[in-house]
């Protein structure tokens, strides 16, 4: 496994890519700059859903963090499979046994191999630091959050139905961004990949998820979300041949010159990658 540093671009049209439940589900925005934000958790959720859909959540591609998952039951499976006795809230004192438990979880769950997990519940399976780390996505330009009033014509009770027409139209709110192009930075650590068993096949699946995960996550509230580009810098040395920030600085994305209207598509931006004079041992790949 090589070290990778990558830049991932995706956009949203007339949708809310990642609402904030603490702010009435408004799109997440940096209050100082007006740039839109999408959390790493949101992106990893879509990747998990895609992998689970493709593989039917069968080993070795099960998904650990998913809706209504009972984590203690998942942990129990590891102890049963390895025939090791549980000790409430603690890993086995024997280091080899403890490692065997954690390894079983890595081998069976894709998201643990990829992103890591804290499995220190009542049935303790340890902690795993994953090789893939993704930061918050930030919009290239400031975004504007719009608020829309919506009504419903159906009613809940017979009493509501007896009210005069127009009095029973429950009001609601929806929020959207007309357009936003987002940029996220990610990293793949080969040393952690060796520890979790993250393989080249897993990497291919991760690339496929970046390219297809929005296709199976459609909703009216999220509008049209689309991957636009993923520029990956591959290092020949596992320790890396250049700093990530120096490589990310080679990826430029900004509004086209002379644009006066608000951005409403990817064509309103210019994306370029400086590939001349790359550091020795670094190559560029296009994943999306």
Q: Is the pLDDT of residue 42 over 90?
A: yes
- Residues 56-105: pLDDT tens digits? 989 999 999 998 889 999 999 999 999 999 988 899 999 999 999 999 99
- The four Cα atoms 224, 225, 229, 232 give a dihedral, to 10 degrees, of -170
Higher pLDDT, 163 or 27: 27
Higher pLDDT, 11 or 87: 11
For the chain, give every domain's residue range: 3-54+128-143+175-286
Residue of 30, 5, 4, 22 whose CA lies nearest to 182: 30
Q: Which helix (H) or strand (E) holds 112?
A: helix 110-115
Identify the band that residue 279 occupies on the pLDDT scale cut at 50, 70 and 90: very high
- Residues 228-265: pLDDT tens digits? 999 999 999 999 999 999 999 999 999 987 777 899 99
Q: Is the pLDDT of residue 154 over 80?
A: no
Q: Is the dihedral of CA 100, 188, 127, 58 positive or negative?
A: negative
Q: DSSP code of 262?
A: P
Residue of 186, 38, 188 whose CA lies nearest to 114: 188
Most confidently modeled range among 59-68, 155-164, 203-212, 260-269: 203-212
Contact between residue 113 and residue 197 where contact means Cβ atoms under 8 Å apart = yes
Distance CA 204, CA 111 (A): 14
Q: Is the pLDDT of residue 169 over 70?
A: no
Q: Is the pLDDT of residue 161 over 90?
A: no
Task: Please name every residue paired with 15 in a beta bridge, in sequence order, or none if there are none.
Answer: 177
143: number of Cβ within 10 Å: 25
């Amino acid at each position: 496994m090589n070290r990778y540093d990558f830049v991932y671009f995706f956009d949203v049209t007339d949708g809310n890519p990642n609402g904030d439940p603490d702010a009435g589900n408004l799109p997440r925005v940096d209050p100082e700059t007006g740039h839109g934000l999408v959390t790493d958790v949101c992106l990893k959720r879509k990747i998990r859903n895609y992998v689970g859909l493709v593989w039917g959540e069968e080993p070795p591609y099960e998904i650990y963090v998913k809706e209504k998952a009972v984590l203690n039951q998942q942990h129990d499976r590891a102890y049963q499979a390895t025939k090791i006795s549980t000790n409430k809230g603690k890993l086995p004192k024997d280091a080899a046994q403890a490692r065997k438990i954690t390894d079983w979880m890595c081998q069976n769950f894709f998201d643990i191999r990829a992103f890591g997990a804290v499995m220190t519940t009542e049935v303790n399976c340890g902690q795993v630091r994953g090789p893939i780390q993704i930061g918050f996505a930030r919009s290239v330009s400031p975004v504007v959050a719009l608020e829309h009033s919506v009504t419903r014509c159906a009613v809940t009770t017979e009493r509501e139905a007896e009210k005069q027409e127009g009095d029973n139209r429950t009001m609601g709110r929806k929020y959207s961004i007309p357009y936003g192009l987002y940029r996220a930075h990610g990293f793949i650590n080969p040393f952690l990949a060796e520890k979790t068993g993250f393989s080249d096949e897993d990497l291919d699946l991760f690339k496929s998820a970046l390219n297809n995960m929005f296709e199976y996550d459609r909703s009216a509230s999220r509008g049209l979300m689309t991957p636009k580009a993923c520029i990956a810098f591959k290092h020949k040395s596992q320790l890396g041949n250049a700093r990530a920030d120096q490589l990310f600085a080679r990826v430029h994305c900004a509004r086209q010159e002379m644009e006066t209207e608000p951005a409403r598509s990817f064509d309103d931006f210019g994306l370029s990658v400086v590939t001349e004079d790359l550091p020795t041992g670094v190559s560029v790949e296009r994943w999306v």
